[in-house]
Amino acid sequence: MNNNFTALAAVGPSDLIDTNSHVGYVYSTNFRNALVLTNDAWKKSVNGIPHNSFLLASAITKENANEIDEFYHEVILLRVLEPAQMPSEQEMIKANIEHRQRLVTLANDSTAEFTSKDDMDPITKGETQWGAIKCRILGTFYHSDNGDLVLGSDLENYTASSLGVKVYKPRGNILEKIINHINPDSKNKMKEDARKSGFRNVPEPIIVGDIRYTSTSRLQQKETKAKVEIQPSDFLARRTAVLGMTRTGKSNTIKTIISAVAISALKDKVKVGQIIFDINGEYANANHQDDGSSIAEVFSNDCVRYSVMDIEGFKDLRTNFYKETAIGLNIIQSLFNADKSPYGGQDLDIFMSATLEKPEESTSEYIRWKWLNSIFQCILNEAGYISDTTLKIPIPCSQNMLKQLRSFKQFTETLTNMFGNTDESIFSGKKFLDVSKEQAKQWFDFIRNTNIELKKQQKENNKIEIGLESSTKGNSLIDPNIECFLNMLFRRNNSNNTIGGFRAIAKYSIYHTNKRSEDVNKEIFSFLQDGKIVILDLSSGPVEIRTILAERIARYIFNNSMDIMHNNQMPPNIVMFVEEAHNLIGQKEPLDSTWPRIAKEGAKAKIAFVYATQEPSSIHKNILANTENWLATHLNNEDELRTLGKFYDFADFSESLKTAQDVGFARIKTLSSPFVIPVQIKRFTPDKIKEELANTRK
């Protein structure tokens, strides 16, 4: 199968029928289900009819196609659900029981002639070999007006009499054609989507594994393996769920998808960026599961790794809190809120609810933001957050404020301590002056003390306590937020009592880095635009920090991709992989929050979203509802199975998904396939992927 699609255009419905694989007859049907009559001899001839296996029902064969009325020129695709009860069921059970009782009686009667070969009479034995199977109708193969073979997803008509409708077990090449069939309209849509993504042709399908119906595969091993293909284009700008318990093959499946997308993009020289939110570090680091290798090692020339710790070979995922103050404060607040901190108090409460999001420079809030930003940098310095030695902090020095400060004797003393002289010309024409960290602390100490002293004087004179006055008459220059930040910096409250202050945030300095000069989000997005595989190793640090970082990076990618699209430009092809998604994507997330928005709207901006979890019930319902591709392995409880059973025809596999724990035994429903296919996923083999990469690059 080297073509982009399995070639079925020249194949008619009758070509799907192999008369040597006859297993029974349809004796009752409706639009949803069919009942099939079969017997033990027919089952034996085809190595059994496993649970969830495919069957074909048709009145036509290659031999009689020209003789059968056109009305019957179709092949119905069935899936085996369970045994069905026949009208004669009780009689056969009764005959079987009576026969066994007779044998036991004879065996215990010393006067009776009995041998172990005694068995039912031929007529009774023949009757008891018959049985019935209930099957789900998955669709109908037929010829369209232009001669293409088409699979409809239902049954258009059924006749009251099913006489002449035989049932066959598809095997080998025929089975392979059926499970990999793609309708013409789906092919055209895939071509269109591929073109929009920059591919010259539809990416070649990849063999993801072999058909596997049941955990017990003794008889299935005797069958010719039917290869199952998936289309890489199904995962571009689409949503994909990879579901299953730990150690049942979720990661192996995701690695297969990553490799397929990367190689397909390389073959067509198209840039497809892939980003992996690696909760357990198994994509970024070598492990025994992958023969001592990893995705990062296999795609070493096209991969960039990030970590929240300082590790050789990894870029720093942390933020420079001095340069990205809003992000820094937000991270500190999230860590503090999740922590059992011994610190408390009114100032700390205000600090932990404040924001440093930059307002428009044209607004009145901008000046106060500059104040808070500078004081926050001083707080970081006092709390032990390492900064660049060249860091300068802007201090406020408006003419209105200087005029008020001059009336205090400490003014000249402060200038001398800061600059070695009392020359005020350094402030000339400036609202803010860049100074060293030490000078900034001295200046803010003077401002805080002066403000407290002014309030004290105003109180004694029975005036409104506004302290330093802003340029607007009667308004305080230092609002409660600035006052709180100053108190945090100098560890004193308004009553001049000692408080914890900056010590409350000192322990979080490990999540800051002074090595980064630009926004890490911007850098990651740039790599994705260049078609790189970006792996975020989130295995280190508390859950809170990885949740914050993951959400912020995802939001940046989403917003920038949407901005590019809204500017009438082509956004980059990006695939997001989220491992242990239940840790990042909460069921109660607001619809306008990052992850639900990516799931719902990301496809518009060419963002594909692949999430893996063992708890589908914990995933936001909006994300589940917008998922096109599903790959499910073992789930161990009814709640999760009920959640999955709401989608497509997964309810047919509930029992199998609950009991079968075989690694890599998955049930797959992709965008281009109209029904679920049970598959044994092939193992991710680094050496073979490397070989394929080398051949592709030639």
Print the SS3 string covering 200-259: CCCCCCEEEEEECCCCCCCCHHHCCCCEEEECHHHHCCCEEEEECCCCCCHHHHHHHHHH
Residue 290 scores a pLDDT above 90: no
Read off the amino acid at residue 373: N
> Model pTM?
0.81
- Consecutive H or E run containing 26: strand 22-29
**CATH code reported for the domain at 206-214+226-318+518-697:** 3.40.50.300
Tell me the pLDDT band of 77, cut-offs 50, 70 and 90: very high
Least confident segment among 38-47, 124-133, 340-349: 124-133
d(CA 334, CA 322): 17
Residue 591 scores a pLDDT above 50: yes
Average pLDDT over residues 248-276: 89
Q: Is 28 helix (H, G, I), strand (E, B) or coil?
A: strand
d(CA 634, CA 639): 13
- The whole-number pLDDT of residue 161 equals 65
Residue 518 scores a pLDDT above 90: no
Place of tokens 């994300």: 623
Tell me the pLDDT band of 480, cut-offs 50, 70 and 90: very high
CB 603 within 8 A of CB 238: yes
Residue 167 scores a pLDDT above 90: yes
Question: pLDDT, tens digit, for every residue of 608-659?
Answer: 999 999 999 988 888 888 899 999 999 989 999 999 999 999 999 999 999 9
Highest mean pLDDT among 288-292, 588-592, 607-611: 607-611
Least confident segment among 114-128, 443-457, 546-560: 114-128
Residue 55 scores a pLDDT above 90: yes
- The whole-number pLDDT of residue 279 equals 85
d(CA 500, CA 432): 29
Report percent pLDDT > 70 for the chain: 93
Read off the amino acid at residue 316: D
Residue 218 scores a pLDDT above 50: yes
CB 277 within 8 A of CB 285: no
Average pLDDT over residues 3-23: 71
Parts of the chain belonging to CATH 3.40.50.300: 206-214+226-318+518-697
Mean pLDDT of the chain: 88
Question: pLDDT, tens digit, for every residue of 81-124?
Answer: 999 988 777 777 777 777 767 766 666 665 555 455 556 666 66
Identify which has the larger pLDDT, 22 or 3: 22
Which DSSP category does 147 fall into? S
Residue 473 scores a pLDDT above 90: no
Asked whether the CA dihedral 405, 410, 411, 415 is positive or negative, the reply is negative
d(CA 379, CA 352): 13
Paired tokens of 241: 């769920």
Tell me the pLDDT band of 1, cut-offs 50, 70 and 90: very low
- Consecutive H or E run containing 149: strand 149-152
- The whole-number pLDDT of residue 56 equals 97
Residue 8 scores a pLDDT above 50: no
Residue 553 scores a pLDDT above 90: yes
Backbone angles phi, psi at 365, to 5 degrees: -75, -15
- The whole-number pLDDT of residue 210 equals 95
Question: pLDDT, tens digit, for every residue of 563-585?
Answer: 999 999 999 999 999 988 887 77
Residue 127 scores a pLDDT above 70: no
Report percent pLDDT > 90 for the chain: 55
Residue 341 scores a pLDDT above 70: yes
Highest mean pLDDT among 26-30, 53-57, 83-87, 404-408: 53-57
- The whole-number pLDDT of residue 7 equals 41
Tell me the pLDDT band of 242, cut-offs 50, 70 and 90: very high
Residue 164 scores a pLDDT above 80: no
Least confident segment among 376-390, 425-439, 534-548, 648-662: 534-548
Tell me the pLDDT band of 125, cut-offs 50, 70 and 90: low
